A and B are shown apart, each in its own frame.
Chain A
Amino acid sequence: MNKAQFLSILRKMLSSLPLKERNELLEDYEHHYAFGQNAGKTEEEISEELGNPHEIAAEVLAEYNRNQPLISSNSRSRSIMACIGLFMLNFVLCVVPLGLAIWAVWVCLVAGSALLILSPLVALFDFVYNSYFSSSKLFATIAMTGLGIMLAMGVFSLGARLKKVTVSYINWNMSIIRGGR
């Protein structure tokens, strides 16, 4: 292996290093070749003495990665990071708006079933106010009451389920902020 080959392997393998650091290290090796040649050695002999450039680069990278500051394990800063992450999830990714929309739909269903159940009262008001009795209206409102009761049952179990999901979502948020899991 000659000097150019040795240096190009190092340069390629150390591409993730900061440029200044990489260039300084490469310069060290370049100078080493120059001194070696002054001492009467060939490029091949010098490369042989330097050793495997792949191994050297792997060592340098391992050392560099060890010294990279890790995200602080300090629980306070961890909580802040978690809060920011949850904020992104909650607001940027629309989890909260979506949840609110689902709850709004549920409220409408509750109102709808209540109206259906109470529709005979509306018919009664109609009879009293307009003093006009129609049996078809009466039967229609009784049928609507039946529908309303069925809808109300569905809405009730849907509400219980929605509440469960919402509570567990909030608990999950809290547990992440506290750092427990």
Chain B
Amino acid sequence: MDIHVQFKKGALELCVLVLIHRKPCYGFELAQQVSQYIQVAEGALYPLLRRLVADGHCSTYLQESNEGPPRKYYVLTPEGEQYMNAMVEEWNKFVSSVSKLLKEGAANE
């Protein structure tokens, strides 16, 4: 199961980048959206977002709301978009080679 967790962590960053690229999101909203696709401990999101901001892939802005605390929105920076594109490409390559391997394995049996 531990390997499973590591998989998800790697995928989480990519999912977050893609979701923020679609439209700016605040933390809670992002957590809701991510959980629609992958089951992951939502708490891991905030350290990840802080890292993305620190690395310059994301920037944030605050928006006051009538209900509850102000929402901190995360936006992808141009560098972040480049980073996302590179990651998507890497991911596709990786997934296709692994599925190819799995298919070959099935054919050899």
Instruction: Judge if B28 is at the interface, Cβ distance under 8 Å.
Output: yes
Nearest opposing residue in chain B for A47, CB measure: B43
Are A60 and B28 in contact, CB atoms less than 8 angstroms apart? Answer: no
Instruction: Judge if B47 is at the interface, Cβ distance under 8 Å.
Output: yes
Q: Mark A34-45, 1 if CB is under 8 A from B, else 0.
A: 111011000000
- Minimum distance in angstroms from A93 CB to a CB of chain B: 42
Contacts of B68 in A (CB 8 A): 31, 34-35, 38
- CA of A167 to CA of B28, assembled, Å: 68
Nearest opposing residue in chain A for B50, CB measure: A25
Contacts of B44 in A (CB 8 A): 51, 56, 59
Instruction: Judge if B79 is at the interface, Cβ distance under 8 Å.
Output: no
The number of residues on chain A lying at the interface, defined by a beta carbon within 8 Å of a beta carbon of chain B, is: 23
Are A25 and B46 in contact, CB atoms less than 8 angstroms apart? Answer: yes
Nearest opposing residue in chain B for A52, CB measure: B41
Instruction: Judge if A50 is at the interface, Cβ distance under 8 Å.
Output: yes
Q: Is the interface of B mostly helix, strand, loop or mixed?
A: helix
- CA of A29 to CA of B72, assembled, Å: 12
- CA of A124 to CA of B67, assembled, Å: 114
- Minimum distance in angstroms from B46 CB to a CB of chain A: 4
- Minimum distance in angstroms from A18 CB to a CB of chain B: 12
A51 touches which one: B41, B50, B51, B67 (CB < 8 A)? B41
What are the 6 tightest A-B residue pairs by CB atom distance, in nearest-first order?
A51-B41, A50-B43, A35-B28, A28-B46, A56-B43, A51-B43
Tell me whether A60 and B72 are in contact in the complex, defined as CB-CB below 8 angstroms, given that A31-B27, A50-B41 are known contacts.
Answer: no
Contacts of B97 in A (CB 8 A): none
Contacts of A35 in B (CB 8 A): 26-28, 68-69, 71
Contacts of B51 in A (CB 8 A): 63
